[in-house]
Structure 1
């Protein structure tokens, strides 16, 4: 029974794997493409052209970081190849890694995710897959697995290529997963750090996070975007992509991820940050986690076949369910859909899972809880015998057998009747013969 329920839950989860926005509001977002999602569930709270393909620039490095952490080991010692370092275009973001320089994979990730070092991306790609080309294949495959629908990566660092594209939605799904990896989450939250000397670089490297939401040293009096709830994650810029930004912020039990793409800068106003802060403000001010059901809440009642005293079972919620909802949501707007098991049969044990209840808001599934029995219910032996008898009588073989018996009985009755009729005829014929004989021999 529980296995069947698990299969149903899995199916309903897969059906809802790509969430859609149920909250539409004009936030005056300047960026051509933007999205706000709940980090815990992936639900879209706001989107603007979120599925339009755009150039990602260095937010590409989020995927590179994921694969490095999944496929490599942080203490791996990696030697930078000449191709990985010298193939970069002049002036691109780097931390000055030299050919032949040895660094741990963790140090390369620090350079990649904190200082946005392009050569670190190339070195990681060669270390994980042997070549950039093979690593890119892995990037695209993993992107699909994480829910990306319109992404095609060409390199590991985000340098411009006309075929290197993604969407705000896809990057939100990728970033959401990335933030579940503890080391990734730690690295993108670091505002500043010092990297020790290596075999080729004898001085300390100073890494400063490019994300102004978390790094006060990147801000200026004219454009200060330091945001206390911010916890990461990655910036990007090329002349073709303009400014891109994937960000995460957390207050209490609320955590959001935003993506803005193709954002402009005008008179010290960085619309990538302006729009991101608008999105966070909208999320924190208009939504909250609300309790829909608590453990032990009575949700259904059901008859129980073969139960003593004809008892019914009370079906309760086995766990609590909380969901992120608009603060002003009305109770009647949350739709409850019950799926209790049919034909529940005694005996029933307290805590048995006997179905589930699904809750929806504006057509979107918020979650599910199991329906469990509130008490033990014993089986009635008399009801069992009665039901078994009725069940046997309802079977095909019983009906055939009963038909045969009835036919035999009927035939026997018919034969008995025929025999009796014959005896009566014989008796009558004998009496008639006797009367005739007497008449002939009567003396007058």
Structure 2
């Protein structure tokens, strides 16, 4: 009983002294996924909310077309007339997805974009690549260069459509980067979010081509509320892959799952679980402009963000829990969540560019701080800590008095038990002596009685 009470009091003290302790009820529980790799990203800032093997290199299948689309939006013109050549057709196996393009057929560049994204046509992706770069190999080089510019360090592509190749790979994180960058183009929502599309007859095709999107996160009567764009993918080597973009209450999230298996529609179930996790547990928080300066120990310069710092945080992590660190050049600042939160979120909350304030008209040299101390505390936070410490001291005092009282009581009871044992031993020793005295007395009385009788006889 004493040990249980001590544990309870110790727990109360711990909660009082550490007010930032995250209770189990407040901590969000990430979903268990069927996919081998996955990521959930804030489309506005690039913040990773949660990831599973998000930098592992995997075959992407047709999700490759997100990067092909990005280059098409950046470098192509929707009104251009594209003529299909031999390379475009011959490099696409007939047992893969295509729209039966033929040599010499002419379509608009925009029609090819829709064919690539809605129907996932591999020959349409080839046509775009050849139109922009001359050959598929040249376009693949441009894809890799653009990926590197975006910070997609786990990507290397050899073609524009995602057909399997040992040197064609990417990661869940990199695919999210491609989708994030794609959103900067107004036409992306339509190209990556159209359910049905028709290509009228061409110079080589007399029938209208009817195209249907199989990204069921937004194609089956709005399967997932808020989903508006994405891309499917499948090959035997890649398994099922899926990219989904959804928005709710001003927050846009990008979900990527790679090699989903183990159940029917695993890719859709995982994507739903990821998006639910983000929308249900994270909310938008605006970081004040002076947040950085308040956490960097410098008397020479003030560091302010070039743009508003917006982050997504769960209820378990407050703005005051974040720490700041400048990079080596001092041009960017990283906002970091406590290490204890790595079980339910990525601890890197965001990386933001900074502008340096001039002091008396002279630029101040920036000094990088790897782990800046947080010296300025919120007055309310300090008051909470003071109250918590006082409460902890009172609890310790109460615990000490209580334990001392129990100690004294136990000593007193032990002393009484020893005294009782001694008294019982003394009584046991005295009983034989008393019996002997009684026997002697009786013997004397008998002898006296005999003497009296003898005297009477005389």
What TM-score do you get using the length of structure 2 for normalisation?
0.62
**Structure 2 unaligned runs (5+)?**
1-26, 339-346, 359-458
Kept in 1, the 8 Å contact 2:304–2:354? The answer is: no
Deviations 1:298-318 (A, max 9, x none): 979xxx99xxxxxxxx99999
Which residue in the other structure is 1:45 paired with?
A: 49
CA deviations on 1:72-95 (whole Å, 9 max, x unpaired) are: 211110011133113311221012
CA distance 1:26–1:337, shift in 2 (3 Å):
closer
Quote the offset at 1:371 in angstroms: 9.3
Secondary structure at 2:187 match in 1: helix
- Structure 1 match to 2:255: 258
Q: Is the 8 A contact 2:253 2:275 kept in 1?
A: yes
CA–CA separation in structure 1 for the residues paired with 2:164 and 2:107: 26
Give the match for residue 94 of structure 2.
90
Corresponding residue for residue 233 of structure 2: 236
CA distance in 2 between counterparts of 1:236 and 1:71 reads 24
Alignment of 1:46-85 (within 5 A): 46-85=50-89
Give the 3 Å change call, closer, same or farther, for CA 97–371 of structure 1 in structure 2.
closer
Deviation at 1:68, TM superposition (A): 1.5
The whole-number CA distance in structure 1 between the counterparts of 2:325 and 2:160 is 46
What is the alpha-carbon distance in structure 1 between the residues aligned to residue 323 and residue 94 of structure 2? Answer: 58
- Whether the 8 Å contact between 1:115 and 1:209 is mirrored in structure 2 is yes
1:290 lines up with 2:285 in the alignment: yes
Q: CA deviation at 1:202?
A: 2.0
Structure number with higher relative contact order (C-alpha < 8 Å, ≥ 6 residues apart): 2
- Asked if 1 retains the 8 angstrom alpha-carbon contact of 2:317 and 2:337, the reply is no
Give, in whole Å, the separation in 2 of the partners of 1:320 and 1:133. 41
What is residue 318 of structure 2 aligned with on the other side?
330
Secondary structure of 2:252's aligned partner: strand
Instruction: Give, in angstroms, the shift of residue 242 of structure 1.
Output: 0.9
In structure 1, the residue matched to 2:145 is 141
Distance 2:204 2:303 in 1: 69
What CA distance in whole angstroms lies between the structure 1 residues aligned with 2:157 and 2:206? 35
In the alignment of these two chains, the number of paired residues is: 323
1:248-284 CA deviation, whole Å, 9 max, x = no partner?
A: 1111221111111111263xx2111110111000000
Give the match's secondary structure for 2:111.
Answer: helix
Pair 369,85 (structure 1): closer, same or farther in 2 beyond 3 Å: closer
Shift of 1:148: 1.0
Unaligned runs of 5+ in 1: 1-22, 218-224, 306-313, 339-354, 374-444
User: Any conservation in 2 of the 1:25–1:46 contact (CA below 8 Å)?
Assistant: no
Which residue number in structure 2 is paired with residue 279 of structure 1?
A: 274
* CA deviation profile, 1:322-348 (whole Å, cap 9, x unmatched): 32111342343134689xxxxxxxxxx
| Segment drifting more, 355-364 vs 128-137 | 355-364
Report the counterpart of residue 432 of structure 2 in structure 1: none
Greater strand share, 1 or 2? 1
Does the Cα contact within 8 Å between 2:47 and 2:311 map onto a contact in 1? no
Normalising by the residue count of structure 1, what TM-score does the alignment of the two structures yield?
0.64
How far apart are 1:65 and its partner, in Å? Answer: 1.0
Q: 1:288 to 1:84 in 2, by over 3 A?
A: same
Q: What secondary structure is seen at the aligned counterpart in 1 of 2:49? A: strand
The residue that corresponds to 1:400 in the other structure is none
Equivalent residue number for residue 226 of structure 1: 223
Distance 2:306 2:114 in 1: 44
SS at match of 1:213: helix
Check 1:334–1:79 CA distance in 2 against 1; reply closer, same or farther (3 A cut). same
Q: 1:283 to 1:86 in 2, by over 3 A?
A: same
CA contact (8 A) 1:24 1:46 kept: no
